[in-house]
Amino acid sequence: MKKKNLKMKRVSIEHLDQYNQLLRYVFQVTENDLNKIGWEEKDIQLAKFPTLEKANVLGWFDRDTLISQVAVYPMKVRIFNRTYDMGGLTGVGTYPEYSNQGLMHKLLYQVLNEMRNKKQFISYLYPYSIPYYRRKGWEIISDKITYEICDYQLPKRQQVGGDVRRVSTDSDSLKEAYHRFAYQTHGAFFIKRRPGLE
């Protein structure tokens, strides 16, 4: 590897295979893992296709080979009864033979600058390493608390009117229910909604 062959640029649909290969390597997703959840290789590619369509994906390339990447989804988030633009960070990874060269640091610096220009002053991510992202400027905003509750500690079931029905995840009624939840919940982010429901 020669540094002069390294170039930072946008990751697009034409890089879908490389994008997925890097994700699977970094997050150690094996064929066995996919089979356990009933997925095949094409399923994971279809699942990641929207990332390259909707997110700002930036990567380092060694000639034509994607070696490091980060994706930022444009979202909105509710904090203390105000709605803010937010960048949802995902797909962060670098092949180990390219690590410790500052590539990810430069990618994060670039996407943070782009987020600032887009007035996305808040960013969410689900960190695999809290110390790593803390050094980069992120902080924990929530805690995970685990409870063990015995069945006799739960309230007795009471009859209530109405019925329950399963709906598609694309259902307008489900999206509307989530939107109402997110609007009144501190820290919740908004999912993309169809026009007219804003």
pLDDT in tens, 111-152: 999 999 999 999 998 777 888 888 888 888 877 788 899 989
Look at the chain and report how many structural domains it folds into. 1
CATH of the domain at 104: 3.40.630.30
- Residue 142 domain flag: no
In the prediction, which pLDDT does 192 show? 64
Please determine, for residue 198, whether its predicted confidence score (pLDDT) is greater than 70: no
Tell me which of 13-22, 44-53, 160-169, 178-187 is least confident.
Answer: 44-53
- Residue 129 domain flag: yes
The predicted model gives 158-171 an average pLDDT of 87
In the prediction, which pLDDT does 197 show? 37
Contact (Cβ atoms closer than 8 angstroms) between residue 195 and residue 177: no
Q: How far apart are CA 5 and CA 98, in angstroms?
A: 12
Task: Report the predicted TM-score, pTM, of the whole model to 2 decimal places.
Answer: 0.76
- Residue 143 domain flag: no
Domain extent for 59: 3-135
DSSP string, 111-124: HHHHHHHTT--EEE
The structure tokens 């590897």 sit at 1
What phi and psi, each to the nearest 5 degrees, are found at residue 143?
-120, 155
What phi and psi, each to the nearest 5 degrees, are found at residue 10?
-65, 145
